[in-house]
Amino acid sequence: MGLLDGLIAGVVGSVLPRVLYTAVATLEQSNTNGLSVLGTLFAPTLPPFLSDDPAHDPFPWGDRTDSGTNPYLEYPLTGDVRRYEFVISRGVIAPDGYEREVLLVNGAYPGPLIEANWGDTIVVKVHNNITGPDEGTAIHWHGFLQHETPWEDGAPGISQCPITPRGTYQYEFVASLYGTSWYHAHYSAQYTGGIVGPIVVHGPTHEKYDIDLGPVMLSDWYHKEYFDIVEEMLAPHGNPKVYSDNNLINGKMHFDCSTLPPNDTHRCTNNAGLAQFRFHTGKTHRLRLINSGGDGVQRFSIDEHTLTVIAEDFVPVQPYNTTVVTLGVGQRADVLVTANASKSPNATFWMRSNLTSCSPAHQPYAVAAVHYDQANTSTTPDSRAWDVPDPENCANDPLGTSEPLFPIPVPKPTMVEEMGIELFRNESDVALWRFNGVSMRTDYNAPVILLANDGVFRYPEEWNVVNCRNHTKIRIIVNNRGGGSHPMHLHGHNFYVLHEGHGEWDGTIVRPSNPTRRDVYLVRANGHLVIQFDGAPGVWAFHCHIAWHASGGFLTTLIVRPDKVEQLEIPRDVEKTCRSWDLWSKYNIVDQIDSGT
């Protein structure tokens, strides 16, 4: 096939010229993704669980099953410790052929895979090597409950002080849920600069599959450094809408360098290289989809193949068939795909992820190549795309499409909060978000959890803390009168999604006997989202997962069971991190240009 054979039809309704897609990469993996092997045919497939002999060893989780065990009440404690060491540094890579300064975990984008069995303890020693200019950091383990360890949640100013440049903090927590997730920096909008990576916790699955192909990270991508984007966005007269430049699958995609101004083409290479996957003809593959982007809602599909969804976030669901899966930032879906669209072992297909029309994006269409057993990997696919319109108002796929495998009815709430979303301009004409009446700004030097642990429960208004007192059946109605959707993420919990829709909530609950449970859900444009959760003692961020919106103040912190938080035995290292940060910030300027989270 020639270089131009993979020409894709022009992007409908977009100002962008055509993008050329060829299967042959012009850049080495080290240039595009540093030390990551994700997105290459060398990426390892994953075992059903970690052991020396998974074919013969018993399940580490015993006879617990995905359909028969309530993981919030009963999870194994294997005693196995999975240790990782992360060095976070500045670097230069070109994921899509456009070279830029990034932040890397162990020199890789995406960062290394964290893998554990259900009930294992995960220990990650994080070294902050972000220097020149120096910057703090903190890493959040998305979707982990942290129920005995809320101080390991990684939200700066909420559950810890940032790790100082040249400093180290060791996180330690239990994998009490299983499935697919990710980690990312929670300091400013740092994670959009590259500090992200996948997490797989192996657990029971009653659905059969042959091959676990591992993480498939879907991410919008920006050609500017995160700091410059935030600075520009939060300048007087700034635009709160931030456009992404490209869309990546496992950190890879092409970019059409001819769309750049002439003075900016020198750092751009066409046909950088796409992510590739190997399918085995007739076999069933598990893909672990993760929207690890900064803003956009992804719609994932594989040409001519049906997807069977078996889990959403950390929640196994009754399997259902679909052609497209919609994922807001932070959401995950585990899907099974049988390689049965062609009988030829030489077949190749496009994998696609389209950002919805609501997502601000200059180039919303990501593709990767799926090769059957014997396909020549230089072949450019020539497959037929599914064509399924975006959900209306930038929402998730309809609530009710999926149903948790282990049913839990929603209890009666004892506390009901309504929280509104507002975009406004302050007196300096800076565009900011107000959530529950306040535009949040964190204090890196005074994490709420340490103050609460000391019995201090009065905070500056701009921290936007809500004390839920002794309530543990907490319902939150999020009202969105704006024209965009927001992926709402609650730390430390899977919440019940009671209702989501246009306008005001009418009081109805979708499937009260077993509502959808997730840790992120989209509130649509001009709509509402009603969630409820069984509150666990701790200090938990509840926020929009669009990095730019969180930077603009779209975050609240919930204190659950303050009496128990006072009794927490927080390790000395948490306080030590604060002492280091206090000292460091006394002699260095902390350029906190945003909410800080």
Nearer to ligand NAG, 67 or 470 (CB): 470
Instruction: Give the CB-side neighbour count of residue 461, counting CA atoms within 13 A.
Output: 6
Torsion sign, CA atoms 84, 87, 88, 93: negative
User: How near is the Cβ of 436 to Cu ion at its closest, in Å?
Assistant: 14
Stretch that binds Cu ion, among 336-344, 395-403, 456-464, 538-546 (CB under 5 A): 538-546
Read off the tokens for 593. Answer: 């240009």
Query: CA-to-CA distance for 277 and 377, rounded, in angstroms?
Result: 10
Burial of 288 (0-12, 13-18, 19+ CB in 10 A): buried
549 binds ligand NAG (CB under 6 A): no
549 binds Cu ion (CB under 5 A): yes
374 binds ligand NAG (CB under 6 A): yes
**Closest among 324, 329, 368 to 348, alpha carbons compared:** 368
Write out the DSSP string of 69-128.
--TTT-------EEEEEEEEEEEEE-TTSB-EEEEEETTBSSPPPEEEETT-EEEEEEEE
Among 352, 362, 371, 486, binds ligand NAG (CB under 6 A): 352
58 binds ligand NAG (CB under 6 A): no
Q: ∠534-540-545 over CA atoms, to 5°?
A: 105
546 binds Cu ion (CB under 5 A): yes
Read off the tokens for 141. Answer: 């383990």
Nearer to Cu ion, 94 or 520 (CB): 520
Stretch that binds ligand NAG, among 158-166, 199-207, 251-259, 383-391 (CB under 6 A): 383-391
Nearer to ligand NAG, 59 or 433 (CB): 433
448 binds Cu ion (CB under 5 A): no
486 binds Cu ion (CB under 5 A): yes
User: How near is the Cβ of 296 to Cu ion at its closest, in Å?
Assistant: 11
Edge-to-edge strand ranges of the sheet holding 139-141 = 114-117, 196-202, 179-185, 139-141
Task: Yes or no: say if 33 and 251 are a contact pair by the CB < 8 Å rule.
Answer: yes
Nearer to Cu ion, 422 or 443 (CB): 422
**Closest among 88, 93, 110, 109 to 187, alpha carbons compared:** 88
423 binds Cu ion (CB under 5 A): no
Query: CA-to-CA distance for 152 and 149, rounded, in angstroms?
Result: 6
Place of tokens 């959760």: 533
Binding pattern for the stretch 107-136 against ligand NAG, x by CB under 6 A and - elsewhere? ----------------------x-xx----
Binding pattern for the stretch 394-433 against ligand NAG, x by CB under 6 A and - elsewhere? --------------------------------xxx-x-x-
234 binds ligand NAG (CB under 6 A): yes
Q: Binding residues for Cu ion, per CB under 5 A?
A: 486, 544, 546, 549
Q: Binding residues for ligand NAG, per CB under 6 A?
A: 1, 87, 89-90, 129, 131-132, 234, 261, 263-264, 299, 301, 306, 308, 319-321, 324, 338, 340-341, 344, 346, 352, 354, 365, 374, 376, 378, 385-388, 426-428, 430, 432, 470
